[in-house]
């Protein structure tokens, strides 16, 4: 009975517990589901974060690649334009350039259609500079302004122009950081520039190529600055004494020494009126703008026109003594104006107008150039070499790694050398120690052993191109044989007076606020002119005239010469091409001396103009690497107009650029150079070596193709 009762109670309890396991199971399942959902949510969030981070990194990389590509526009604009990854300037896309008013002058960046955008001149004039700030950029490129260039650039860099994959959407180029300037109307005036330009590139990535949502946007700003090439004063310059003998010869510029100077072969040359200025030949050139008067009685143009000079650009200057100056005299109205004594100066220790202009040596600091070479590792055209051992010749390794080779191997851009191409080559000292001591002295103990090059070292094909920086005890050459390639190089351009010109506006000369004639372009470093017919160059119309040269040049006879027919009332503009009409006159321009160039580097240069139909034309601008035919390409040849660059002549040289040595220099034999040789120690040479000055080094269009024109000063990224 009791057993039966217990069983009944047990059954009733089990009945009451029935279904609890299911409830617990449901609770556990629900909890696990919630946990699962949480994990899924976390996973999706992390995936989204990862995707956003990926998109951001990819977009930043795209923007950085774009900024570096725009930097390459400065390095080699002709290459970029040839690939259509850079805008054209003929014509420029509408809206790309912003009109700017700076110091009262209204213009745009590179206003002439003949100018190449982003062609980075060394030491540029105003028209090649950037003045805008970020919101008023001088150059802006968007899809609305120039979709073709952006499409081509994206395709070139990334293989596609895809919004979903990421693309460059905007490019702005404007002024570099400026300290001490004033921002007026969105453009900087005055102040000190710290760089050449600021490049701002925006990149975006969208969820779809059409429509969709923005996934990431990044902006990269990069400040680029001019590659700080030293500014030479002439073909050879030393911070010590210089003595040249034998047939050693220097052409097309000044020989300069901080010490005493014994110049090379003397040649007839255009004289200097004083230590600062060439003769004021504007007196007599344009008697409307620059009349010959009692204060300026000498008609200097008549002193020079019709005469020939062996080297019109040559001269010599020294802080110490100048052996030419045993008979030096100030230039005057004389029959011997072309003699070297009228272009030689000594005792130039300070700047006191008009007799003394201090002779200096370019500032070339070891620490700065070493930093450029080391930090530029990986940048095209920048090379650093560590000294390895004192074998003959001494050996160097690029970046201290790899195989060791002598200097002549590394610097040779031709067959048989490293063929690294034009660039900056820095050769380290022993122990990587700064050799420059206070006061300009050199610690010669840390210089690497000297080199003595001859035809054997050069091989059969040798050329240095760019800026070669040596820290060797002595740079010596004893003859090159026929190892140097014979290539075309430019003679210097024509000489002009940077005194400005009048502007002819609405049938009258432009006047200033006081009613006086207004001169435009004075002191800007450019040959300025008013382009009335709009063809991008100054057009000169000549007329023949007989003048009494005896009053200016003792012993001369009366003769007829051609002179520019300067603009005045009643003149009409010459045609953009073709022969001028009877009433046509030269466009208003700064006075210049027209040179009739020879067809060889040592021929005489004649000063004067010629009839339009019989101008002597010499090739001036290369067609790629070919010398142009003046019959079919007269625009690439010299003319009666102003020629910024001189005629092309063939030169067999081992250097195209600048060679600097911390030690000394000596030369024998027939090794020739084109550019400039800068020596901190003493310089001495005999034999028949030749140095031809590359005038482009002091103008704004120097740099062989491949040479770095700008370097990165700073870079930063914004996330948006």
How many angstroms separate the CA atoms of 259 and 576, rounded? 51
Return the bridge partners of 179, or none: 192
Q: Which pLDDT band holds residue 280 (cuts at 50, 70, 90)?
A: confident
**pLDDT class of 460 with cuts at 50, 70, 90:** confident
Please state, for a pLDDT cut of 70, what percent of the chain lies above it: 90
Point out the least confidently predicted range of 120-134, 492-506, 556-570: 120-134
Domain limits, the chain: 55-226, 366-484+653-708, 498-590
215-219, 367-371, 458-462: the lowest-pLDDT one: 458-462
- Reported confidence tier of residue 399, pLDDT bands at 50, 70, 90: very high
Q: What angle do CA 278, 284, 287 make, to 5 degrees?
A: 125
Q: What is the pLDDT of residues 474-494, one digit of tens each?
A: 999 887 667 788 999 999 999
CB 590 within 8 A of CB 496: yes
pLDDT given for residue 702 in this prediction = 78
CB atoms under 10 Å from CB of 425, counted, come to: 27
Round to whole Å and give the CA distance between 532 and 529: 9
Q: Give ∠ CA 489-492-494 in degrees, rounded to 5.
A: 140
> Which of 21-35, 54-68, 136-150, 337-351 is predicted with the least confidence, judged by mean pLDDT?
21-35
Give 461's Cβ-side CA count (13 Å radius).
8
pLDDT digits 0-9 by tens, 95-111: 999 999 888 888 899 98
- The lowest-confidence range among 384-388, 453-457, 551-555, 579-583 is 551-555
Helix (H) or strand (E) holding 371: helix 366-375
Higher pLDDT, 291 or 464: 464
Q: What is the pLDDT of residues 497-506, one digit of tens each?
A: 999 999 999 8
Per-residue pLDDT band for 46 (boundaries 50, 70, 90) equals low
Question: At residue 229, does pLDDT exceed 90?
Answer: no
Residue closest to 307 by CA, chosen among 273, 338, 274, 265: 338
The pLDDT of residue 63 is above 90: yes
The predicted structure's pLDDT at residue 459: 73
Helix (H) or strand (E) holding 317, with range, is strand 315-318
Q: What is the pLDDT of residue 555?
A: 61
Residue 286 has pLDDT above 60, yes or no: yes
DSSP string, 544-601: EEEE-GGGTSTT---EEEEEE----TT-BPPPSSS---TTB-PPSB--B--EE--SST
Please give the biggest Cα pair distance in the chain: 164
* CB 269, CB 312: distance < 8 Å: yes
**Residue 289 in tokens:** 């703008």
Q: How far is CA 273 from the centre of its chain?
A: 31
Nearest to 78 by CA among 68, 67, 89: 89
| Residue 701 reports pLDDT greater than 60 | yes
Quote the CA–CA distance of 356 and 352 in Å, as a whole number. Answer: 5
CA separation, residue 111 to residues 88, 126, 163, 534, 573 (Å): 12, 11, 33, 12, 21
Average pLDDT value for residue range 174-186: 93
Mean pLDDT confidence for 519-532: 89
pLDDT at residue 31, rounded to an integer: 72
**pLDDT for 430:** 94
Q: Mean pLDDT of all residues in the chain? A: 87
634 Ramachandran zone, left/alpha/beta (phi>0; psi -120 to 50): alpha
- pLDDT score, position 553: 60
Q: How confident is the model at residue 550 (pLDDT cuts 50, 70, 90)?
A: low
Helix (H) or strand (E) holding 100: strand 100-102
Of the listed ranges 83-97, 333-347, 420-434, 579-593, the least confidently predicted one is 333-347
| Distance in angstroms (rounded) separating the CA atoms of residues 40 and 88 | 53
Other beta carbons within 10 angstroms of residue 79's beta carbon come to 14
- With a cut of 80, say whether residue 331 has pLDDT above it: no
CB 236 within 8 A of CB 677: yes
Residue 124 has pLDDT above 80, yes or no: no
Residue-wise DSSP of 277-336 = ----TTTTT-TTTS--BTTB---HHHHHTT-EES-TT-EEEESS-BGGGGS-----S-TT
Residue 668's region, left for phi above 0, alpha for psi from -120 to 50, else beta, is beta
Sequence-distant (6+) residues with CB within 8 A of 336 are 342
Mean pLDDT score, 509-537: 87
Confidence band, pLDDT 50/70/90 cuts, at residue 4: low
pLDDT-derived band at 296 (thresholds 50, 70, 90) equals: low
With 90 as the cut, is the pLDDT of residue 596 above it?
Answer: yes
In the structure, what pLDDT confidence band is assigned to residue 245 with cuts at 50, 70 and 90?
Answer: confident
pLDDT of 624 strictly over 80: no
Q: What are the pLDDT digits (tens) for 159-179?
A: 999 999 999 999 999 999 999
% of the chain beyond a pLDDT of 90: 54
CB 692 within 8 A of CB 252: yes
With a cut of 80, say whether residue 324 has pLDDT above it.
yes
Report, as an integer, the average pLDDT of 548-559: 62
675, pLDDT greater than 90: yes
Q: Who wins on pLDDT, 311 or 550?
A: 311
> Which residue is listed with tokens 């950081």?
177
Question: What global pTM score does this model have?
Answer: 0.84
Q: According to the 3-state scheme, what is the secondary structure of 214-240?
A: EEEEEEEEEEEEECCCCCCCCCEEECC
The per-residue pLDDT for 34 is 73
Our measurement of the distance from residue 625's CA atom to the centroid of its chain's CA atoms, rounded to an integer in Å, reads 19
Q: Using 50, 70 and 90 to split pLDDT, how confident is the model at 240? A: very high
| Lowest-pLDDT choice from 65-69, 126-130, 159-163 | 126-130
CB atoms within 10 A of CB 561: 17
Nearest to 460 by CA among 478, 479, 440, 483: 483
CA proximity to 147, closest of 73, 80, 79, 96? 96
Q: For 600-609, how does the pLDDT look when each residue is reduced to its tens digit (9 = 90+)?
A: 999 999 999 9
CA geometry: angle at 253 spanning 529 and 282, to 5°?
35
Distance in angstroms (rounded) separating the CA atoms of residues 200 and 138: 12
Instruction: Return the higher-pLDDT residue of 518 and 649.
Output: 649
């Amino acid at each position: 009975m009791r057993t039966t009762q217990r069983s009944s109670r047990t059954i009733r309890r089990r009945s009451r517990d029935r279904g609890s396991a299911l409830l617990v199971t449901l609770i556990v399942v629900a909890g696990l589901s919630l946990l699962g959902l949480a994990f899924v949510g976390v996973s999706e969030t992390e995936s989204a974060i990862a995707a956003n981070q990926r998109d951001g990194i990819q977009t930043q990389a795209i923007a950085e690649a774009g900024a570096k590509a725009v930097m390459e526009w400065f390095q080699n604009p002709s290459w970029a334009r040839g690939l259509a990854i850079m805008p054209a300037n003929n014509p420029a896309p509408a809206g790309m350039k912003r009109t700017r008013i700076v110091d009262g002058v209204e213009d745009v960046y590179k206003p002439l259609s003949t100018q190449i955008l982003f062609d980075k001149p060394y030491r540029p004039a105003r028209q090649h500079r950037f003045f805008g700030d970020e919101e008023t950029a001088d150059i802006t490129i968007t899809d609305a302004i120039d979709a073709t260039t952006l499409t081509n650039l994206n395709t070139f860099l990334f293989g596609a122009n895809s919004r979903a994959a990421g693309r460059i959407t905007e490019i702005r180029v404007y002024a570099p950081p400026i300290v001490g300037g004033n921002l007026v109307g969105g453009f900087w005036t005055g102040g000190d520039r710290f760089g050449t330009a600021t490049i701002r590139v925006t990149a975006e990535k969208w969820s779809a190529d059409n429509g969709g949502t923005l996934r990431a946007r990044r902006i990269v700003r990069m400040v680029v600055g001019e590659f700080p090439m030293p500014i030479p004063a002439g073909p050879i310059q030393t911070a010590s004494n210089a003595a040249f003998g034998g047939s050693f010869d220097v052409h097309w510029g000044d020989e300069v020494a901080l010490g005493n100077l014994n110049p090379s072969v003397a040649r007839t040359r255009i004289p200097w009126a004083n230590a600062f200025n060439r003769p004021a030949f504007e007196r007599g050139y344009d008697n409307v703008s620059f009349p010959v008067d009692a204060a300026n009685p000498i008609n200097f143009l008549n002193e020079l026109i019709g005469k020939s000079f062996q080297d019109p650009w040559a001269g010599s200057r020294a802080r110490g003594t100048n052996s030419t100056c045993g008979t030096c005299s100030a230039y005057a109205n004389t029959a011997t104006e072309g003699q070297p004594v009228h272009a030689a100066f000594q005792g130039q220790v300070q700047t006191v107008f008009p007799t003394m202009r201090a002779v200096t040596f370019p500032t070339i600091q070891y620490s700065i150039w070493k930093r450029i070479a080391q930090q530029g590792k990986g940048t095209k055209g920048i090379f650093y070499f560590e000294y390895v051992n004192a074998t003959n010749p001494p050996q160097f390794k690029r970046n201290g790694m790899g195989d060791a080779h002598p200097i002549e191997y590394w610097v040779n851009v031709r067959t048989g050398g490293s063929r690294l191409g034009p660039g900056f080559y820095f050769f380290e000292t022993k122990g990587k120690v700064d050799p420059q001591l206070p006061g300009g002295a050199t610690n010669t103990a840390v210089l690497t052993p000297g080199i003595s090059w001859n035809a054997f070292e050069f091989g059969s094909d040798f050329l240095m191109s760019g800026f070669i920086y040596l820290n060797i005890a002595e740079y010596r050459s004893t003859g090159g044989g026929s190892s140097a390639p014979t290539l075309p190089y430019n003679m210097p351009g024509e000489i002009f007076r940077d005194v400005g010109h009048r502007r002819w506006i609405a049938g009258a000369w432009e006047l200033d606020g006081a009613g006086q004639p207004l001169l435009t372009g004075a002191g800007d470093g450019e040959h300025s002119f008013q382009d009335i017919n709009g063809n991008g160059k100054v057009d000169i119309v000549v007329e023949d005239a007989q003048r009494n040269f005896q009053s200016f040049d003792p012993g001369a006879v009366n003769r007829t010469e051609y002179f520019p027919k300067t603009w005045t009332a009643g003149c009409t503009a010459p045609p953009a091409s073709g022969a001028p009409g009877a009433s046509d006159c030269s466009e208003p321009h700064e006075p210049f001396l027209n040179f009739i160039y020879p067809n060889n580097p040592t021929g005489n240069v004649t000063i004067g103009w010629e009839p339009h139909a019989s101008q002597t034309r010499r090739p001036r601008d290369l067609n790629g690497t070919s010398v142009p035919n003046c019959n079919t390409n007269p625009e690439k040849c010299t003319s009666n107009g102003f020629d910024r660059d001189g005629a092309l002549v063939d030169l067999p040289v081992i250097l195209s650029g600048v060679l600097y040595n911390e030690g000394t220099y000596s030369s024998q034999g027939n090794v020739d150079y084109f550019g400039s040789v800068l020596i901190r120690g003493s310089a001495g040479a005999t034999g028949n070596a030749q140095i031809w000055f590359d005038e482009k080094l002091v103008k704004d269009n120097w740099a062989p193709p491949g040479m770095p024109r700008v370097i990165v000063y700073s870079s930063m990224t914004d996330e948006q």
